[in-house]
Structure 1
Amino acid sequence: MDDARQLLSREGPLAHCLAGFAPRGEQQDMAEAVQQAIADRASLIVEAGTGVGKTFAYLVPALSHQGRVIISTGTRHLQDQLFHKDLPLVSRALGVSVEVALLKGRSNYLCPHRLKMTQMEAKGLSPTLQGQLAQALEWAEQTQSGDIAELEDIPEDSLLWPRITSTIDNCLGQECPEYDRCPVLRARRKAQDADIVVINHHLLLADMGLRESGFAELLPTADAIIIDEAHQLPELATQFFGEHLGSRQLSDLARDVTQEVLSEAPDMPELRDAGDPLSKAVRDFRLALEGLPARGPWADIADQSAIVQAYQALHEALQQLRDQLAPIRERGRGLEACARRIEAHLAWLARFAEAQSGRVLWYETFSRSFTLHATPLDVANHFSTHRQALTPCWIFTSATLSVGGGVQHFLSRLGLHEARTFMLESPFDYPQCARLLLPAHLPEPNDPGHTAAVVQEALPLIEANPGGSFLLFTSLRALQEAAKLLRPQVNRPVLVQNEAPRQILLQRFREAGNAVLLGSQSFWEGVDVRGMALTLVVIDRLPFASPGDPVLEARMADCQAKGENPFTHLQMPQAVILLKQGAGRLIRDPGDFGVLMICDKRIKTKSYGRLFIKSLPNMPVLNDSQAAAQFLRSGGALEAAGY
């Protein structure tokens, strides 16, 4: 086994082969710890601050290991970058030849059977969908992978995708007439033979929860599972170890019944509309939720007469559909699969109607859809049980795992108490290149004039800033208000979340060099803009989760029942980690500089504010906006006496 530290040294192959590669002690320390954990078959948690180079630090020992390693990333974008860019780069530098596979969730691959079914009903589609279907049919004849990411001209939110991809609910498995041509099957077979398999957290958790068949045999064969962007895992695990039933699943079922009757029972035209009552019941259920909060505890609405009637009608529509299909379900694989889905949905509705200890039942509505959830309050035991059944070696890494210098919060949420822990600070010179501005005179965050005050406080900095400015908000309402106030007052591009796709906005932001980008929610992490294009980050308030969130509300009640403080055990640690993610957008390269402004006076007036500051990189603190503006104008060369 090659020494990972030596491979990443000044004399190592990466320094010789990769232009611009600079050895970093922190990166070597991490690589050594990962290599040792794999050798010892131990679990390891590594917080690696921005600039450590954690990707290379785990790829080098992974590629040096003589065995199978699974790497899971936070998003499909990072997954593609790791597979198409980072892995080939490090492999060539090390001179190793290993089999590498990229595996995504089934909804990312074409389903040939469903494509044929959709082609049969093409005349009933809108002209837009017909055009997109024609593109998909042409592409299907040429693609080797079946990965729908190749169809770049079809929008991500196109209604075609659910028609030509499969879910665990509607996949026919080995009974599918197109089984031998299935891209999901091909991708999984390739993964079976690979030394390094790149997946994402959604797929990892779905299969850990045994929701997928045909993949469960891959995970136990791994010598090590490496989790990048591991801070996302606790919340994602909460989703995947829970259960849900939504309008999309039910509407897809109704449509699939119609398609399968046309295909497998064409002599029974009276059943071609069999799914219509279910479609109507789904629409009526969504109407019954109209006027209620967008999300809330099921117990708050379960006894309302309109909800009771809509729930009962949904149940009866599924029963009626089951009875109609009973005489013909054995005619074909598709009809049989639909019948099984109906039975599963009926069983789920029966479970949901009963109180469940350790779980919170809640609903969520969107403009035209809804989802019912049964979410576990604590996933530590679930995750720990599945993890220990797979492999003893798990590597968890992220730039944001600790709170106040410790990772106990992360350990407890996933049941990782026996794991080794290792914390590496960023190698960037924050005291020299960055400043933390904490304005003292802003109103309280719950003051109606707070957002307007944030904009006025940010304006002089934006004007003084020769580079780009990134404003992060904890709510879309505040973001929209700020955008209206800001646009008439700045003479540079203003880019706002949801006015264009995320990647397009980021591309425009980088190219402009001095633009103002306003983001919320998903923009708090994963934004990697280097150099002068981003030199000012403004955060409107400490990102505490809404106390009205039904899952958080139930967890807080559970905490209190155990005699624990829900604020210190739940709300504060999660807010600290999210703030660290937002702050991490500022310095991305050794040559970067900039100002981080946090516009929440509680960070100075409340005792818990010290924990937030302690969790951030060590930056000199400014109270004066003029000093911060001068720091930006001077390109980071602020005289020591100025702060």
Structure 2
Amino acid sequence: MSLPVQQFLEPGGLLDQKLERYEFRPQQVQMAKMIADALEGRHAAIVEAATGTGKTLAYLIPALLSRRRVVVSTGTKALQEQLFFKDIPFLQEHLPRNFKAVLLKGRRNYLCKQRFEEMERKPAFRSADDVRLWPVIRSWAGKTSTGDRAEIEGLPDNYPTWQELSVGSEGCLGTKCPYYDECFVNRVREDAQEADVIVVNHHLFFADLALRQTGFAEILPSYDAVVFDEAHHLESVATEYFGLQVSNFRFWELAGDVERAVDADEVSAEAAADVLETTRHLTKAAGQLFDRLLGVLREGRHGLDVLDDIPERELIDEALEEVYDGLDDLEGAIRAVSALGESGQRLAQRCKELSFELKQVIRCDNPRYAYIVERRDRGVFLQAAPIDLASLMRRKLLDTHDALVFTSATLATGGNFEFFKRRMGMLGFEREEGPAVKAVKVEELILEPVFDYPNQCVLYVPNKLPAPNDPNFCDNVALIVDYLLKITEGRAFVLFTSYMNMNAVHDLLVDKIDYPVLLQGQASKREILEKFRATPNAVLFATSSFWEGVDVEGEALSMVIIDKLPFANPSDPLTRARLDLVDERGGNSFAQISLPSAAISLKQGFGRLIRSKSDVGVVAILDSRVAHKSYGRYFLNSLPPAPVVWSAPAVKRWWYQRHPELLPEKG
């Protein structure tokens, strides 16, 4: 490495010279040095960098100085865009080397010019509301240079018709497409071939990694190193891509692609009619199957592994047979139309693969997988999820990559990385090199907090509140929340581990609270956050999606209230299977999985409060188990070093010590 990273991060360095509000943070230098060593020595590094460390520049600067091609993978598209549109342009302007960066997303984020032309010719909107945005999309499509849907102002994340305007790898026509040379996906792929930094998200990275095992790659060119930011998300994302998944969306997309294919001039009207009739039979059968599976979900069951024990199983098996027959019939009908050529062969193969994968998932007969049925908005997903992800991560990631950096504000539990390393397959990790087996070097660093938590924050844990399983829990939570909100005059997040508790406490308080009340679900997450920031003294009731990735600086957020410890639901099939596997191997699943998983989630919720050196406020965890259970100390030790108080009046005293000007006048 030509220049040491500290020249850029220490007083007098690049940041000091170019940033108006520069603050020297020794933690940032520590992190950058470790990452520089990992990239130079081609080994792994794990870094927990608390909020305020400046971790983005702490890994971008050594990545660029290494002169290697580095993939930066983030947990969210929001962080992807922050990196690409804010941090990287700053470094391109000021770093003493020229470099090229590319932002890559999954195919479905880009406009397909062929699909757009078809929509212009034959509109097929999925809902009446979608028509309203069509003029905006048409105007954007005529001038965009990237085709990235994120450029479209006001386009909802769940805009249904976007499925008709984009294409997945299964439906892409490849070199047969008339727009192949103009394709936005192909262009960004070509740009990535020449980039020094490729910014992706975890979903794209693991989609690519899973496909590489079969000899294909989704989008990524070859690269030398990977930095995983928000690395605490890796297990859940990798689980999705290392298993099998069949959804109603896949049937809809197959049907849509078949209809487009037979709409071509080369296909006779008679042949087209036969294929379309077969397609309609399949979509009807698939609709019945997924409707019946939704009936199972409405009964409160969440795992395919229990379907053998319920009366609906016969109806589901009957619907399955209809789907298998429909896929076989459609495959045959497509192959019979020679005019479809290569595109027909691909569609027929998709029918065959979809039938095979559905059978694999629905059998529920592989003990290495948990079988799940889940509803997400309009989608119904059947998934075979790997139980022991560690072995897969070792084989697919650790054995095939050497320079790997894992970082997040929440990776350590109990003062170490044992839980994270165990889940990632890094405990006792060795790699074969020729005839020898070499232990792989993994450097570890837990950085000291940047913020002054002992003076900026207090943690309140009630020691007299009933336990969360008490029938009066929500009533008592409502009483304490009401008391606490009066102290800070609103300006609070009230975070819950379930919608049930959120709605129950909200309903108890909405007419009693003297401050503006917002409820998750009343608008999009972005709109609710904007309204919270713009509304003085607002109170937001929310669940898990607001526990992380939400940044509200200043007095607008002065208190975060958490209803209870965020233990994973043990009735979830995947969670249950992973707990059972640890116990079967002689371990302690509560200590090895339940506690550390909950501690990481709790740290994320806690982290919503203090976002700058001037923030001051209260975190309240309304779970008396922290006070009375032996594992309570484990949670407290995993959180930032804020002082702990055990009564609500103590919170009030602390608050007025910090804000004497707010003390009520005596009279």
Alpha carbons of structure 1 residues 116 and 214: separation in structure 2 relative to 1, 3 Å:
farther
Could you tell me whether the CA contact under 8 Å between 1:467 and 1:515 is conserved in 2? Answer: yes
Between stretches 125-134 and 461-470, larger displacement belongs to 125-134
Structure 2 SS opposite 1:62: helix
Q: How does 1:478-557 map to 2 (within 5 A)?
A: 478-557=501-580
Per-residue deviation, 1:451: 1.9
AA at the equivalent of 1:613: L
CA distance in 2, matches of 1:373, 1:521: 22
Q: Kindly tell me the number of residue pairs found equivalent between the two proteins.
A: 637
Correspondence 1:595 to 2:618:
yes
AA at the equivalent of 1:347: F
Partner of 1:384: 394
Partner of 1:239: 240
Per-residue deviation, 1:353: 4.4
CA distance in 2, matches of 1:276, 1:509: 47
Identity of aligned residues (%): 36
Between stretches 96-105 and 356-365, larger displacement belongs to 356-365
Could you tell me whether the CA contact under 8 Å between 2:335 and 2:344 is conserved in 1? Answer: no
CA distance in 2, matches of 1:477, 1:213: 46
Alpha carbons of structure 1 residues 135 and 591: separation in structure 2 relative to 1, 3 Å:
closer
Could you tell me whether the CA contact under 8 Å between 2:208 and 2:220 is conserved in 1? Answer: no
Partner of 1:625: 648
CA distance in 2, matches of 1:388, 1:557: 25
CA distance in 2, matches of 1:636, 1:614: 28
Per-residue deviation, 1:625: 1.1
Per-residue deviation, 1:248: 0.8
Per-residue deviation, residues 562-599 of structure 1 (Å, max 9, x unmatched) = 12222112211110110011001111111111111000
Structure 2 SS opposite 1:517: strand
Alpha carbons of structure 1 residues 513 and 395: separation in structure 2 relative to 1, 3 Å:
farther
CA distance in 1, matches of 2:341, 2:119: 17
Alpha carbons of structure 1 residues 352 and 623: separation in structure 2 relative to 1, 3 Å:
closer
Correspondence 1:301 to 2:302:
no
Correspondence 1:173 to 2:165:
no
AA at the equivalent of 1:371: F
Correspondence 1:252 to 2:253:
yes
AA at the equivalent of 1:396: F
Per-residue deviation, residues 232-260 of structure 1 (Å, max 9, x unmatched) = 10111111111100011112212221222
CA distance in 1, matches of 2:124, 2:306: 44
Correspondence 1:399 to 2:409:
yes
Q: 2:273 aligns with which of 270, 278, 299?
A: 270
CA distance in 1, matches of 2:215, 2:183: 14
Structure 2 SS opposite 1:436: strand
CA distance in 1, matches of 2:254, 2:197: 36
Alpha carbons of structure 1 residues 71 and 209: separation in structure 2 relative to 1, 3 Å:
same
AA at the equivalent of 2:290: R
Structure 1 SS opposite 2:372: strand
CA distance in 2, matches of 1:450, 1:124: 46
Correspondence 1:349 to 2:358:
yes
- State the TM-score, normalizing by the size of structure 2: 0.91
Per-residue deviation, 1:113: 1.9
CA distance in 1, matches of 2:252, 2:328: 15
Per-residue deviation, 1:267: 2.5
CA distance in 1, matches of 2:659, 2:452: 12
AA at the equivalent of 1:345: L
CA distance in 2, matches of 1:577, 1:280: 44
Per-residue deviation, 1:372: 1.2
Structure 2 SS opposite 1:363: strand
Correspondence 1:7 to 2:8:
yes
Per-residue deviation, 1:41: 1.0
Correspondence 1:420 to 2:443:
yes
Structure 2 SS opposite 1:488: coil
Could you tell me whether the CA contact under 8 Å between 1:296 and 1:362 is conserved in 2? Answer: yes
Could you tell me whether the CA contact under 8 Å between 2:462 and 2:648 is conserved in 1? Answer: yes
Per-residue deviation, 1:121: 3.1
Partner of 2:20: 19
CA distance in 2, matches of 1:526, 1:424: 20
Per-residue deviation, residues 320-339 of structure 1 (Å, max 9, x unmatched) = 11121121155244433322
Q: 2:368 aligns with which of 354, 358, 368?
A: 358
Per-residue deviation, 1:618: 1.0
Partner of 2:487: 464
Partner of 1:374: 384
Structure 2 SS opposite 1:533: coil
Partner of 1:197: 198
Partner of 2:58: 57
Per-residue deviation, residues 100-140 of structure 1 (Å, max 9, x unmatched) = 11111111101112223333431776554444444433322
Per-residue deviation, residues 491-538 of structure 1 (Å, max 9, x unmatched) = 221111111111111112122242111111211111111111111010
Structure 2 SS opposite 1:532: coil
AA at the equivalent of 2:453: Y
Could you tell me whether the CA contact under 8 Å between 1:434 and 1:636 is conserved in 2? Answer: no
Could you tell me whether the CA contact under 8 Å between 2:494 and 2:560 is conserved in 1? Answer: yes
Alpha carbons of structure 1 residues 377 and 330: separation in structure 2 relative to 1, 3 Å:
farther
AA at the equivalent of 2:598: A
CA distance in 1, matches of 2:283, 2:199: 38
CA distance in 1, matches of 2:126, 2:448: 55
CA distance in 1, matches of 2:655, 2:524: 29
Could you tell me whether the CA contact under 8 Å between 1:31 and 1:58 is conserved in 2? Answer: yes
RMSD over aligned Cα atoms: 2.1
AA at the equivalent of 2:336: P
Correspondence 1:74 to 2:75:
yes
Q: How does 1:568-587 map to 2 (within 5 A)?
A: 568-587=591-610
CA distance in 2, matches of 1:540, 1:327: 60
AA at the equivalent of 1:255: G
Between stretches 478-487 and 314-323, larger displacement belongs to 478-487
Per-residue deviation, residues 6-37 of structure 1 (Å, max 9, x unmatched) = 31111111111101010111111111111111
Alpha carbons of structure 1 residues 302 and 259: separation in structure 2 relative to 1, 3 Å:
farther
Partner of 1:641: none
Structure 1 SS opposite 2:296: coil
Partner of 2:472: 449
Could you tell me whether the CA contact under 8 Å between 2:228 and 2:406 is conserved in 1? Answer: yes
Structure 2 stretches of 5 or more lacking a match? 428-439, 662-667
Could you tell me whether the CA contact under 8 Å between 1:436 and 1:620 is conserved in 2? Answer: yes
CA distance in 2, matches of 1:139, 1:367: 27
Per-residue deviation, 1:157: 1.6
Alpha carbons of structure 1 residues 633 and 314: separation in structure 2 relative to 1, 3 Å:
farther
Q: 1:315 aligns with which of 313, 324, 345?
A: 324
Structure 1 stretches of 5 or more lacking a match? 639-643
Could you tell me whether the CA contact under 8 Å between 2:245 and 2:361 is conserved in 1? Answer: no
Per-residue deviation, residues 409-440 of structure 1 (Å, max 9, x unmatched) = 10111112342111112121111111110112
CA distance in 1, matches of 2:78, 2:206: 18
Between stretches 359-368 and 116-125, larger displacement belongs to 116-125
- State the TM-score, normalizing by the size of structure 1: 0.95
Could you tell me whether the CA contact under 8 Å between 2:207 and 2:218 is conserved in 1? Answer: no
Per-residue deviation, 1:349: 2.4
Structure 2 SS opposite 1:545: coil
Alpha carbons of structure 1 residues 542 and 6: separation in structure 2 relative to 1, 3 Å:
same
CA distance in 2, matches of 1:29, 1:149: 35
Could you tell me whether the CA contact under 8 Å between 1:225 and 1:394 is conserved in 2? Answer: yes
AA at the equivalent of 1:173: G
Could you tell me whether the CA contact under 8 Å between 2:490 and 2:515 is conserved in 1? Answer: no
Per-residue deviation, 1:553: 1.3
